[in-house]
Amino acid sequence: MCGIVGYLGEKKATPILIEGLSKLEYRGYDSSGIAVVENGEVKIEKCRGRLSNLKDKVLDKDFTSSIGIGHTRWATHGEPSDVNSHPHSNQDGTIAVVHNGIIENYIVLREWLISEGYKFVSETDTEVIPHLVDYYFDGNLEDAVIKATKRMEGSYALGVISKNDPDKIVAVRKDSPLVIGVGENESFIASDIPAVLNSTRDVYLLEDKEFVVMTKSGITIYDENKNKVDKQIFHVTWDIDAAEKGGYEHFMLKEIYEQPKAIKDTLTSRIVKGEKIKIDGIHLTKEQIENFDRIYIIACGTAYHSGVVGKYVIERLAKIPVEIDVASEFRYRNPLITEKTLMICISQSGETADTLAALRLAKEKGARIIAITNVVGSSISREADDVFYTWAGPEIAVASTKAYITMLIALYIIALYMAEVKNTVRATEIEKIKDGLLNLSEKTAEILNDIEPIKAFVDEIYKHKDVYYLGRGLDYAVAMEGSLKLKEISYIHSEAYAGGELKHGTIALIEEGTSVIALATQSDLYDKMVSNIREVKTRGAKVLGIAMEGQTEIEKTVDATIYIPKVMSILAPVLSVIPLQILAYYTAVKKGCDVDKPRNLAKSVTVE
C-alpha cells in the first residue's frame, strides 16, 4: 500500500510532488521518491525513510522540470530500502513508474523478462512494469502502458513517464485508488483527493482499467481498448482545512474532537424528529427487507469493532440474525450466501483489500450489498448495491476515531430503518432512540469538554506492559475497540475480554497491580459486570471503571471511575469509547510514540 502523485503543468514539478506526497504519507511512509523529465532525461531521486529525507535530497538538485511523478511507500515486496523505493525504471533509465498495489504474477513476468535480456535491480513486484512498458514501447507511451497492463495480474494505480514521449504522464488504475486533478493549465494524479486540494477541487474519479493521458493540451481518458471515455468532473466540496491539523498536536486528537460534528453530519437529513427515516444511498423496498433471512457484517480492524455493535443493535431492533466476521476470514471460509442474504461491508477508506474481496465474493453469490464507508467514490462504495456515506470528513490519523463513531451511527440508522419498515419495534420506542441519537453530539462534546479526569489515569496505564479491557454485551464490543486503540498507538499489549469469559482462563493472568479497564454501562448487565470486576479486584487488579452517570454502585469495587453522560444503554457505545480513545492518545503521547503514524501500520490496507 502506497501513495502516488503526478504533476504536469507550467510550474516546477518537484515542490508540488513533495507537497502532494506529504498529504499521502498516511498511506505508507517507509520510503519515497520522485521522477521528473529534466532536460530531456528522466531523473530519479528516491530514498528510504520519511519524506523529509527525500525533501533534503531533492532540494539540492533544484530541478526545473514541470512534469513528474512521486511515490510514498509501504513495503510489501522487498524491505524498505533505497533500491526498492519507487519510482522504478527500465534498464536504460528512459521510463519511470510509480505504483500502488501488487502485481500478483510478477514472478512469471520477471522470469520471462529476464529470458528476454532484461536485468532487475530490486526485489519489488513493481520493477516488472517499467521493463514491460519498455518491451512494448514503440514511440507512444500510452500504447505501451495499455499493452503492458494486459500482461499484469493484480492491483495497480500507475503513473508513468518517458524521455522518449516526454511531454506526457500516463496513468491507469485497477483495484487501487486513483484520482485525476483538473487545474488551470495543469493536471495531477493522486491516490487520494487531499494530495491535490491545494491546487484544485475538480477531479475525475477513475474506474478500473481507465487510462489517462495528460499533456500540456489537456487530459484524455481511454478505456482499455483505447476508446475515449467521457467523464463527469467531481467537485470536492469539503474544505482543505478539514485535511489539515487545525491547531491540534496530532491529527488523532483533532479527529477525536471532531466527533460531535461528525455525529451530527452523519445524522443530518436521515434522522429527523417525528419523520420516517430516510437513507439517501439505500434503495431497498419493504419486500426486499422482509425477505432477508440473514445479515453478514464484514469489515476489518476498527470497522469490524463497529460491526460487533451493529450485530447487537440490528438483531435487537430489526430482528434479523446477524453474523459478524473479519473480512480476511470470511472470504476463505465458504460462507453460506443466498439471494436472501444481505451483506453490510464497513470500511472507512472503502479500499481495504480483504473487505473488497469479501464484497465481490458475496455479490457473485447473489447477496445484496450495503457499504458503509467514509470515502465517496471509493472502490467499495462503487461496487456495493447501496451506500451509506458516513460523512465524517477525511480521517488522516492511522488510528481510527471519528470514522468509528460515525460507523456506529450508520449502523443505528440502518437498524432503526429496518425496524421501522418491518414494524418490529413500537413507534414510541423508535422515536425514543431517534431522540437519543439526536442528543449524542451534545453529550459527546460534554465528555470532550472535561477530559482531565480521564487524563489522570494515564500515569497509571503508561507504566504497564499489559492492560486488560472487560465488558459484557455492547460494553464488550467497545472494550475491543478501546484495547485496539491502546495497542496500536502506545505499543502496550492489551486484550479485551467478555466479563463472563474471564474465569475460563484469562483470570490466571491477573495478579497484584494488573491494570484493568472495566466497562459497566449496560443497565441489564450491570450487576453481573460488577461481580466480574470483583473477581479481578480480589486477585489484586487495579481497576478503572467506566459507567453511566448515576450508576455509582461501581465505586465500591473499582479504584477510579469515569462517568459518561446518561443515555439509553443501546446508545452507550458512542459515548463510552471516547474516554478509551483519550486514554490511548495521551498514553501514547506520554510514551513519546508517533501517534499519527504508528510503526508497521498504514491508514489504508489495500493489499491482502
**Where on the chain is the footprint of ligand M6R (CB under 6 A)?**
300-303, 347-349, 352, 355, 398-400, 484, 488, 601, 604-605
Report residue 554 as a C-alpha cell: 461501581
Smallest separation, CB 177 to ligand M6R (Å):
11
- The nearest distance, CB 513 to ligand M6R, in angstroms, is 28
- Between 544 and 605, name the residue whose CB sits nearer to ligand M6R: 605
Which helix (H) or strand (E) segment holds residue 531: the answer is helix 526-537
From the CB of 317, what's the least distance to ligand M6R, in Å?
Answer: 23
Grid cell for residue 192: 487520494
> Would you put residue 423 in left (φ > 0), alpha (ψ -120 to 50) or beta?
left
CB of 338 to ligand M6R, least distance (A): 25
Nearest-CA neighbor of 518 among 553, 562, 551, 487? Answer: 562
Tell me the three cell numbers of residue 41.
532525461
Does 2 qualify as catalytic in the annotation?
yes
∠ Cα 60 62 64 (to 5°): 165
Nearer to ligand M6R by Cβ, of 126 and 400: the residue is 400
In the bound state with ligand M6R, the residue whose beta carbon lies nearer, of 187 and 302, is: 302
Angstrom distance (rounded) from CA 170 to CA 148: 12
Q: Which is nearer to ligand M6R, 6 or 301 (CB)?
A: 301
In angstroms, what is the minimal distance from the CB of 10 to ligand M6R?
36
Question: To the nearest whole angstrom, how small is the minimum distance from the Cβ of residue 253 to ligand M6R?
Answer: 14
| Of 43, 168, 402, 603, catalytic | 603
Residue 570 CB: number of other CB atoms within 10 A? 20
Using the minimum distance from each CB to ligand M6R, give the nearer residue, 70 or 350: 350
Q: Are 577 and 478 in contact (CB under 8 A)?
A: yes
Parallel, antiparallel, or unpaired: how do β-strands 187-190 and 3-8 relate? antiparallel
Phi, psi for residue 19 in degrees, rounded to 5: -60, -45
* DSSP state at residue 82: T
Using left for φ > 0, alpha for ψ between -120 and 50, and beta otherwise, residue 87 falls in beta
Q: Shortest gap between Cβ of 378 and ligand M6R (angstroms)?
A: 9
Q: What minimum distance in Å lies between the beta carbon of 395 and ligand M6R? A: 9
Q: Which is nearer to ligand M6R, 187 or 378 (CB)?
A: 378
Q: Which residue has the cell 470483583?
A: 534
CA 403 to chain centre: 8
CA atoms of 174 and 155, how far apart (whole Å):
5
Q: Which residues of 452-471 are buried (b: 16+ CB within 10 A; e: fewer)?
A: eebbebbebbbebeebbbbb
In the complex with ligand M6R, the residue whose CB is nearer, 127 or 488, is 488
CB of 491 to ligand M6R, least distance (A): 14
Q: What are phi and psi of 172, to 5 degrees?
A: -160, 155
Q: Are 193 and 236 in contact (CB under 8 A)?
A: yes
Residue 87, preceding peptide bond in cis (omega within 30° of 0): yes
Which of 487, 539 has the CB closer to ligand M6R?
487
d(CA 441, CA 235): 28
Shortest distance, CB of residue 302 to ligand M6R, whole angstroms? 3
Q: How many Cβ atoms sit within 10 Å of the Cβ of residue 57?
A: 15
Q: Which of 2, 168, 174, 254 is catalytic?
A: 2
Cβ atoms 81, 54 nearer than 8 A: no
For residue 122, what is the enclosing H or E element? none
Active site annotation includes 603: yes
Residue 317 vs 399, nearer CB to ligand M6R:
399
Q: What is the dihedral of CA 301, 302, 307, 310, to 10 degrees?
A: 170
Give the dihedral of Cα atoms 126, 132, 134, 136; nearest 10 deg.
Answer: -150
Give Cα separations from 44 to 24, 36, 592 (angstroms).
19, 7, 34
Closest to ligand M6R by CB, 94 vs 347, is 347
Please answer whether residues 63 and 13 qualify as being in contact, where contact means their C-beta atoms are separated by less than 8 angstroms: yes
Helix (H/G/I), strand (E/B), else coil: 71: strand
Nearest residue relative to ligand M6R (C-beta): 301
Residue 136, Ramachandran bin (φ over 0: left; ψ between -120 and 50: alpha; else beta): alpha
Give the DSSP per-residue string, 44-81: EEEEES-HHHHHHHHHHH----SEEEEEEE--SSS-S-
Please give the helix or strand (H or E) that residue 346 lies within, else none.
strand 341-347
Work out how close the CB of 171 gets to ligand M6R at its nearest, in angstroms, rounded to a whole number: 23
State which residue, 12 or 487, has the beta carbon closest to ligand M6R. 487
How is residue 248 written as a grid cell?
491540534
Which residues are designated catalytic? 2, 603
